[in-house]
Amino acid sequence: MQRSARSKTAPAETRLDDWRERVSDAYFELDLEYADPDHFDGRIVTFDLDGVALSWLKSDPLRYRRLASHVGTDVDESFLLTVPDQAPIRFSQRGRTTICGPGSFTLERSGEPYEFSYSERNLLRVLKIPAPLLRRRIGTPDRLCAMRFDAHTGAGAL
């Protein structure tokens, strides 16, 4: 099943709250800070692939924060594998910070607070993977969070 949303289609007075809800629906509960709230534009398209979700999100600069108060509110924990397509992202989790540019990817865990941002309009390709599924495949993926992986060589090229 495919779902999509565009920020500009919501009424101006609820546009930012509506966008936060759309992003939280696609991934999990997050706080958003807009670089330019008055002119923000974003679009998200999500595909459900039988338990794993694939999405692309194109938007103006944002800062996403997964707060301690958000953790534990989700029924199912998941991981996001995020590939930036147009501009670098900055990601911090588990005491680590990485800058991940186009041609690389990073892993985010919903079960812990984090901060994720980009300062230019960006296109993100995101794979949302249920934690039990990923843990069955790679053991302890938590150790891989907030690291940058090259998407052009080795296993990252897959």
Encode pLDDT of 19-55 as tens digits: 999 999 999 999 999 999 999 999 999 999 988 999 9
pLDDT-above-90 percentage for the chain: 71
Task: Give the Cα separation of 116 and 13 in Å (integer).
Answer: 25
* Per-residue model confidence (pLDDT) at position 146: 87
**Does the global pTM surpass 0.75?**
yes
Vertex 108 angle, CA 143 and 72, to 5°: 95
Whether residue 92 contacts residue 114, with contact meaning beta carbons closer than 8 Å, is answered with yes
* Per-residue model confidence (pLDDT) at position 11: 86
